[in-house]
């Protein structure tokens, strides 16, 4: 199961075909038509980079991943050298086929890598905690073969295929014994540090509970004890009730600016029927996702009439513990606070963790609602 079958049928008419790359990595083609995926990776074999380290920051009891091989990773190449475009002619890219819909392949410069079989996370003992190899898995998700597009330009059917790929990866990565948490996300825009312009996202599968997830779990546990209810359900109920921060909605999803957002533009997109992760979404909820996803991203691009730099993050429940305490939601945060101005994480945010917001969430929800969408 760990590499999946060579061909697999998923929901919404999507099939997946797996191929090996010349350095041993796997590429998975997600298609809605039956397309033979037989192209060979023509590139010479290449050694995979060394695995990094997990070191404990004992002052906060948080793991930090050291991935020094990433310093030399490719940085904003010109369009004609894009490694995420299909392979056409002499330029051998990460995708051997001449066309593709959606592909997911193992990251060439992964921060986290599959460890040896006997790998275990060290016990937390303060400054004397042992160092571990940086176990986990990092994958790249290409949303479309078209270099100049962005997620917001995809058709609803394309978004549906991307969703199916995310769901498939979540299910399969959940089976790996060293994985604790799965995080599909997209960084968009140079302002946010994107090093490749081609529309793509990533999946990080962590071998430890990410610090922010650990804190969300703690808050959810307290709330459960206090009220018997799931915290995120109460948060969504409040937003539905107060209405002022809702940005978009349909029968299965609701999108709102959170009551205490940390960024000038922050949106949560949550299913009305709460689930733990992408793999648990109903067929109806899946089919209703493209509409709200595209609306939300177009509203973001519309606020200042320029492509909005954002981080779009899928929050899921951890794989192995407290799956009933955290809920699936898609959190989109943008650092742009005005047409030439970004919100920076400076002293207060970075060193103290105390966020200062330059506008009220109700104002940003209003601005997002005011965007007139083309059809």
Q: Minimum distance from CB of 165 to a copy of itself (Å)? A: 17
Q: Does 58 bind a copy of itself (CB under 8 A)?
A: yes
Select from 99, 342, 370, 373 the one that contacts a copy of itself (CB under 8 A). 342
Q: Does 322 bind a copy of itself (CB under 8 A)?
A: no
Q: Calculate Rg over the CA atoms of the chain.
A: 21
Tokens for 113?
Answer: 């890598």
Q: Which residues 253-292 are close enough to bind a copy of itself by CB under 8 A? A: 258-262
Whichever of 114 and 361 has its CB closer to a copy of itself, that residue is: 361
Measure the CA–CA gap between 99 and 85, rounded to whole angstroms: 9
Select from 44, 78, 177, 353 the one that contacts a copy of itself (CB under 8 A). 353
Q: Does 359 bind a copy of itself (CB under 8 A)?
A: yes
Measure the CA–CA gap between 159 and 177, rounded to whole angstroms: 30
- CA angle (37, 41, 45) in 5-degree steps: 150
Scored b (16 or more CB within 10 A) or e, 217-246 reads: beebeebeeeeeebbbeebbeebeeeeebb
Q: Does 78 bind a copy of itself (CB under 8 A)?
A: no
Contact code string over 166-185 relative to a copy of itself, x by CB under 8 A: ---------------x-x-x
Q: Does 313 bind a copy of itself (CB under 8 A)?
A: yes
Q: Which stretch binds a copy of itself (CB under 8 A): 5-13, 158-166, 191-199, 281-289?
A: 191-199
| Strand pairing category for 62-66 and 53-57 | antiparallel
What's the start-to-end Cα distance of the chain, in Å? Answer: 43
Q: Does 63 bind a copy of itself (CB under 8 A)?
A: yes
Give, in order, the Cα–Cα distances in Å from 96 to each of 27, 140, 148, 168, 169.
9, 15, 19, 22, 21
Whichever of 40 and 131 has its CB closer to a copy of itself, that residue is: 131
SS3 (DSSP) at 232: helix
200 is catalytic: yes
Q: Which residues 218-257 are close enough to bind a copy of itself by CB under 8 A? A: 218-220, 222-223, 226-227, 231-232, 234-235, 238
Q: Minimum distance from CB of 307 to a copy of itself (Å)? A: 16
Tokens for 222?
Answer: 């307290």
Whichever of 16 and 245 has its CB closer to a copy of itself, that residue is: 245
> Are the C-beta atoms of residues 129 and 122 closer than 8 Å to each other?
yes
Give, in order, the Cα–Cα distances in Å from 69 to each of 42, 46, 100, 113, 312.
24, 14, 29, 12, 25
Q: Does 339 bind a copy of itself (CB under 8 A)?
A: no
Q: Does 44 bind a copy of itself (CB under 8 A)?
A: no
Measure the CA–CA gap between 296 and 229, rounded to whole angstroms: 28
Select from 215, 273, 282, 321 the one that contacts a copy of itself (CB under 8 A). 215
Give, in order, the Cα–Cα distances in Å from 104 to each of 72, 139, 187.
22, 7, 16
Tell me which of 3, 69, 181, 200 is the catalytic residue.
200
Q: Minimum distance from CB of 201 to a copy of itself (Å)? A: 8
Whichever of 282 and 348 has its CB closer to a copy of itself, that residue is: 348
Measure the CA–CA gap between 278 and 186, rounded to whole angstroms: 16
> Are the C-beta atoms of residues 189 and 308 closer than 8 Å to each other?
yes
Place of tokens 């430890």: 208
Q: Which residues 98-157 are close enough to bind a copy of itself by CB under 8 A? A: 111, 125-127
Q: Does 370 bind a copy of itself (CB under 8 A)?
A: no
Q: Does 55 bind a copy of itself (CB under 8 A)?
A: yes
Tokens for 267?
Answer: 């949106």
Select from 60, 88, 157, 306 the one that contacts a copy of itself (CB under 8 A). 60
Q: Does 89 bind a copy of itself (CB under 8 A)?
A: no
Q: Does 206 bind a copy of itself (CB under 8 A)?
A: yes
Q: Does 216 bind a copy of itself (CB under 8 A)?
A: yes
Q: Which stretch binds a copy of itself (CB under 8 A): 31-39, 148-156, 292-300, 336-344?
A: 336-344
| Residues designated catalytic | 200
């Amino acid at each position: 199961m760990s590499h999946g079958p060579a061909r697999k049928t998923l929901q919404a008419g999507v099939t997946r075909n797996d191929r090996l790359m010349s350095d041993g990595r796997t590429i998975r083609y997600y298609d809605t038509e039956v397309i033979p995926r037989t192209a060979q990776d023509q590139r010479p074999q290449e050694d995979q980079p060394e695995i990094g380290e997990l070191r404990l920051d004992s002052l906060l009891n948080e793991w930090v991943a050291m991935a020094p091989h990433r310093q030399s990773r490719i940085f904003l190449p010109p369009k004609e050298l894009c490694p995420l475009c299909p392979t056409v002619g002499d330029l051998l890219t990460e995708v051997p086929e001449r066309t593709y819909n959606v592909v997911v392949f193992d990251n060439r410069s992964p921060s986290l890598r599959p460890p040896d079989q006997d790998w275990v996370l060290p016990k937390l003992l303060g400054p004397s905690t042992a160092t571990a190899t940086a176990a986990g898995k990092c994958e790249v998700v290409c949303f479309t073969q078209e270099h100049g597009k962005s997620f917001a330009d995809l058709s609803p059917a394309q978004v549906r295929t991307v969703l199916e790929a995310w769901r498939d990866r979540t299910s399969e990565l959940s089976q790996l014994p060293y994985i604790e948490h799965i995080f599909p996300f997209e960084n968009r825009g140079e302002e946010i540090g994107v090093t490749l312009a081609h529309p793509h996202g990533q999946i990080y599968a962590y071998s430890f509970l990410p610090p922010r997830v650990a804190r969300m779990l703690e808050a959810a546990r307290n709330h459960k004890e206090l009220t018997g209810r799931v915290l995120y359900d109460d948060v969504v109920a409040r937003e539905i009730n107060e209405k002022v921060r809702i940005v978009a909605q349909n029968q299965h999803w609701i999108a709102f600016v959170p009551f205490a957002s940390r960024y000038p533009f922050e949106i949560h997109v949550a299913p009305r029927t709460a689930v733990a992760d992408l793999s648990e979404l109903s067929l109806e909820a899946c089919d209703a996702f493209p509409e709200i996803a595209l609306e939300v991203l177009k509203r973001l691009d519309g606020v200042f009439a320029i492509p909005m730099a954002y981080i779009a993050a899928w929050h899921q429940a951890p794989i192995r513990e407290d799956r009933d305490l955290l809920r699936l939601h898609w959190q989109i945060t943008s650092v742009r606070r005005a047409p030439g101005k970004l919100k920076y994480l400076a002293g207060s945010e970075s060193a103290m963790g105390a966020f200062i917001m330059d506008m009220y969430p109700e104002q940003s929800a209003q601005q997002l609602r005011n965007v007139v969408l083309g059809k």
